[in-house]
Chain A
Amino acid sequence: GQQVMQIPQYQHVQEGEDFTTYCNSSTTLSNIQWYKQRPGGHPVFLIQLVKSGEVKKQKRLTFQFGEAKKNSSLHITATQTTDVGTYFCADRSNDYKLSFGAGTTVTVRA
């Protein structure tokens, strides 16, 4: 499977601030999916991006797929305590599996 690199590994955010997590691949991605895992929980699907340059929004979350389909980003505006957790990007390769990035663990200072 393809390797997806995710940065930063940790993100400490002041409540109300914005932050971005990035996902990069050395090869073209088939499609990219984003998941969120709350502490003690399991990954939950957030979004899927398929098209080059695609941008999708979910309230305060903005997901972007690069033009070359080699990178993706998740931008959260006005961070809230409910945003705490680990955000994973994942490539659904051609061979029926998800290849996850290492994740960005987000903590929020009130």
Chain B
Amino acid sequence: KAGVTQTPRYLIKTRGQQVTLSCSPISGHRSVSWYQQTPGQGLQFLFEYFSETQRNKGNFPGRFSGRQFSNSRSEMNVSTLELGDSALYLCASSLISGLMNTEAFFGQGTRLTVV
């Protein structure tokens, strides 16, 4: 069974640009979450999607957005990039939504560098 796939793996962007990251969850997983990981802030929750609906959002500015498609694939977009957006962006999928007791399967992440 294929794991969570994130593309691209690495990305270099210039300040002010925008970027779109993609995540394909494990087949059958309908819940997709996004996290930002930085050395200073650790793992921070961005948002969670289920059945194309955003159910929860973390404390990030509106420049960070996402969506989920009918096949459960998800994208996140960051507009007007800032240097501080440089981070590892991790996507995680879970099998069952609505239940708390579900493990998350993480993708390998997209390493975004803003210059």
Contact = CB atoms under 8 A, between A and B. Distances in A.
Interface of A: 1, 30-31, 33, 35, 41-45, 48, 50, 88, 90, 92-103
Given A42-B106, A45-B105, A50-B101, A95 B42 contact: no
Nearest to A98: B104
Name the interface size band of chain B.
20 to 34
Interface of B: 31, 33, 35, 42-45, 48, 50, 55-56, 58, 90, 92, 97-98, 100-109
Contacts of B33: 96-98
Majority-rule SS of B interface residues: strand
The 9 closest A-B pairs by CB, nearest first: A100-B43, A45-B103, A42-B106, A97-B45, A96-B48, A95-B56, A92-B100, A96-B56, A102-B42
